[in-house]
Amino acid sequence: QVQLAESGGGLVQPGGSLRLSCAASGFTFSNYGLGWFRQVPGKEREFVSTIRRTGATYYADSVKGRFTISRDNGKNTVYLQMNSLKPEDTAVYYCAACTGDTYYSTKSYDYWGQGTQVTVSS
């Protein structure tokens, strides 16, 4: 059974940091690109970051310079380090796996986790 399980979300003050993890199983992890998306109620799911099979990374303009994506193929895990968090970063964060090239589109991803809540508030 294919599974992606996010963890590490929570409540943090503006300017703080969180590290999200996503543990994968049921597919050949190293053959897939990994992405992080986020969603707030009433809005479409938004691209945050991706790391490709090659190790290349890409970020949405809104998080560039603050977030860092990484992967550990030996642990079948992808991470998202989030620094200098802002209230507008508040969302449910999802990890996903894909074999497509359009990394910024939700339609390119085959597998999705259930999400983890990140709340940035004072």
What percent of the chain is modeled with pLDDT above 70? 100
List pLDDT tens digits, range 46-63.
999 999 999 999 999 999
Sequence-ordered list of residues with C-beta below 8 angstroms from that of 86, at least 6 positions apart, any chain: 14, 120
Cα 61 to the chain's mean position, in Å?
Answer: 15
Q: Which of 62, 86, 10, 69 is nearest to 34 (CA)?
A: 69
